[in-house]
Amino acid sequence: MNKTHVKQSMTATALLTTAILYGCGSGSFLNNSDSTTKANDANAPLTDEKFNNMNPDFPSFVSIADTTPEGKTWVKLDSMSDEFDSWDDNKWFKSTWNYGVPVFMSTSDENSGVTDGKLWLKATLNESNPDGRWFQTARVHSKAETKYPMYTEARIKTSHISAYTTYWLNNGDINNRDEIDIIENNSNPSCGCKPEYPGQMNSQYFQADSSEEPKTVRKHGNFARANLSDANPLKNVGWNEDYHIYGVWWKDANNIQFYLNGEPAGSVVVGEHLDGKTYDRKLTRDLEIIFDLWTADAPWVGGLPEKSELLDDSVNTAYVDWVRTWKLED
């Protein structure tokens, strides 16, 4: 969807952090040529053992069906990775720019934080907010940014209200932006119009250029969880019922491959647009990671939650167990 309130410029901190991504120990070298990694041939059968023993030092697909290009290695990008043992001010910040009513973005400790090894985002009811913004919630950004070739993945359990739990990449300028939405998942749509949402990984890209027509191009790369392999233990598990691993391999300026629980999911080619035409567009900007939880009174989101659900901590909170990011290097 068109995030019409994307912040207009990145913070100086984010820009400075980007400049030092490869200095002062910001990355750790991971050699994909070891025998364990190469044993996971892309054509080998998928097994329970592979899914239950994914190596955290590599993107999850490396343990399942390794399609890392020959001669390339994955280098951990520590500035955009976190196990969330505690809140790290050097890596993350919160923002308050709003989507449409009824969303009210807050930096309150009531709406986001790190507890018991998890980053959490909670939607709460606050009818004293101005302009009918009773859905009080939170957004968390990485201070660092990066670009292709890269891979990032996060282990997330969504909320179970009619709202999007999100994990996405953006440069922060609504009029001139590159955006990759890894997930915008709603496990409990209220509108009666999106029966596919509880089992669909909603993914897409946007490319906006104020000097071009159309100014914005976008394409969905959605994926049904039912299309995972039978060996995948999370195939029949709801987004809110357990943690799922969502990822994206941003390969180059035009090719983006999404992943779900170690398997290829949807994909998009930059330039392809919803109107069926292909435009000369590319994703080339450095992007930050963003997590947020939000809703809208619109069918494409799935409708609004009940206000009473925002008082129920068993459904109103999304959790991120960890996020891990790598660069693909020679």
Known catalytic residues?
Answer: 179, 184
CA dist 65 and 23 (Å) reads: 31
Peptide bond into 102 cis (omega under 30): yes
Report the amino acid identity of residue 208: A
Contacts with 205 (C-beta within 8 Å, 6 or more apart), sequence order: 178, 179, 180, 181, 218, 219, 221, 256, 268, 270, 283
> What Å distances lie between residue 111 and 125, 140, 260, 293, CA to CA?
10, 11, 27, 10
Cα 325 from chain centroid (whole Å)? 11
Q: Cα–Cα distance between 219 and 93 in angstroms, integer?
A: 29
Q: Give CA–CA dist 304/300, Å, rounded.
A: 11
Tell me how far apart the alpha carbons of residues 152 and 81 are, in angstroms, rounded to a whole number. 8
* CB of 243 closer than 8 Å to CB of 157: yes
What token pair was written down for 320?
């991120």
Residue 90 to residue 13: CA distance in whole angstroms = 9
CB atoms within 10 A of CB 37: 19
Q: Is there a contact between 57 and 83 (Cβ–Cβ < 8 Å)?
A: no
CA dist 289 and 152 (Å) reads 9
Q: Is the peptide bond before 214 cis (omega within 30 degrees of 0)?
A: yes
- 149 cis-preceded (ω within 30 degrees of 0): yes
In whole angstroms, give the CA distance from residue 49 to residue 233: 10
SS3 category, 43:
coil
